[in-house]
Structure 1
Amino acid sequence: MRKLQVQGVHHITIVGSTRQSAIDFWEGLLGMPFIFEQPNLGKPDENHLYFDPGDGRLLTVFTNESRTDAARPAPREVGCVEHLAFAVSRATFTQIPARLQERGIEFLERDRGFMNSVYLQDPNGMKVELACYKFQTPEGYRDADVLMRAHQLRMERGDHHIDDIHLADAIEDLLAQRARLAH
């Protein structure tokens, strides 16, 4: 049986509260340009806001002016989204804690071995991650190529998780592979 072949994330849609709450968070805090809005064609009592998360794809939010911000953690149950993660540059990542503190927004910072993360919640309790890889992907490769090779090295070495040494060695291996193919 043949597989369907996806080619990346097209868009993500979340259920929000009000139009202004969505704009304040997604554009005002996270800097995602507000692209346009139109009625939700599948549910006439909702509006549909479109934001650019930075890669030209879309994050959309269904809003309704009769709703209020949930202001509680979103459910973490089977079938629910645990969190949404967005890429940020290293320069931006280093500024996140101070900028969130200025706004009185609670957050949690984590070192994930191959990346750093800051977690916060949107006004409706959905967990949002701002993530920054610890490596620069060589030209002609994808982030996934580096991570797959780093994982292979980690497993071969019996290490607990991917760390800086695995990333550096993975990049070195990929560049050596490219050099061998060029000759």
Structure 2
Amino acid sequence: MRKIQSQGVHHITLTGADRQSTIDFWEGVLGMPFIFDQPNLDNPDEGHLYFDPGDGRLITIFTDETRKPVHDRTPTDPGCVHHIAFSVSLASHRQVVTRLDARGIKHSGVKDRGFMDSIYFKDPLGFLIELAAYKFEPPRGSSHAEVMIEAHRIRVAAGDESIGEVHLADAIERIVARSQQSLSTDRSAKDPY
């Protein structure tokens, strides 16, 4: 038996309401360029709108002019999607509360998640959206996931409940020590003062 190895999210497709409210939210609120439009090839009564969430991948929305926005929370039953998190820069993240408030969009405020800060709010159809900003940049040639697994190992070894900034900093130091050479034979911390 052999695995099927994924290499990232290709796209996520959501069921939307009408075309214009879809464009207004995904491009007009979240800034995702509207890049492609065609009928839903499995249901010609629906549109299929494509947006770029910022990394060149795709968020797609099925639209239908007879569907109207419903503001109830979407189901969170087993098998349902709880929420989607989108990455934003720290500079943008610090503006989210003000920009949501200006539109009258209710939100969670900033939530400190240890390794990232998050803000939650619902789209016009009641689907939970998270805007997340990492508190760290991975070392050159590494990914956020590599830092996270190293920070997890450090956290577990320390007996801590969740990943914090100290675990991230130590993880980054370990990754740099493994991936970048030095002429020094002793790379331990020093106090030159």
Decide: shared fold, TM above 0.5.
Answer: yes
In the alignment, the residues of structure 2 paired with residue 179 and residue 21 of structure 1 have an alpha-carbon distance, to the nearest angstrom, of: 49
1:34 corresponds to which residue?
A: 34
What's the counterpart of residue 180 of structure 2? Answer: 179
- TM-score when normalising by structure 1: 0.97
SS of equivalent to 1:148:
helix
How many residues are treated as equivalent by the alignment? Answer: 183
2:191 maps to which residue? none
State how far apart, in whole Å, the 2-side matches of 1:86 and 1:179 are. Answer: 31
What's the counterpart of residue 9 of structure 2?
Answer: 9
In 1, Cα distance between the equivalents of 2:163 and 2:114?
Answer: 6
CA distance in 1, matches of 2:43, 2:17: 14
Query: Which of the two has greater helix per residue?
Result: 1
Structure 2 residue matching 1:93: 3-state secondary structure: helix
User: How far apart, in 2, do the equivalents of 1:106 and 1:174 lie?
Assistant: 40
**Aligned residue for 1:45?**
45
Q: 1:182 to 1:21 in 2, by over 3 A?
A: farther
Over 3 Å counting, the alpha-carbon distance change for 1:180 and 1:156 in structure 2 is: farther
Structure 1's consecutive aligned runs of 4 or more residues displaced over 3 angstroms after TM superposition are 180-183
What is the distance in 2 between the residues matched to 1:117 and 1:32? 19
- SS state at 1:45 partner: strand
Q: Percent identity?
A: 55
| Structure 1 residue 167, shift from structure 2 partner | 0.3
Residue of structure 1 equivalent to 2:141:
140
Please name the residue that 2:113 is paired with.
112
Corresponding residue for residue 55 of structure 2: 55
- Give the Cα–Cα distance (whole angstroms) in 2 for the partners of residues 20 and 110 of structure 1: 31
Corresponding residue for residue 121 of structure 1? 122
Runs of 5+ unmatched residues, structure 1: none
Counterpart secondary structure, 2:43? coil
The TM-score with structure 2 as length reference comes to: 0.92
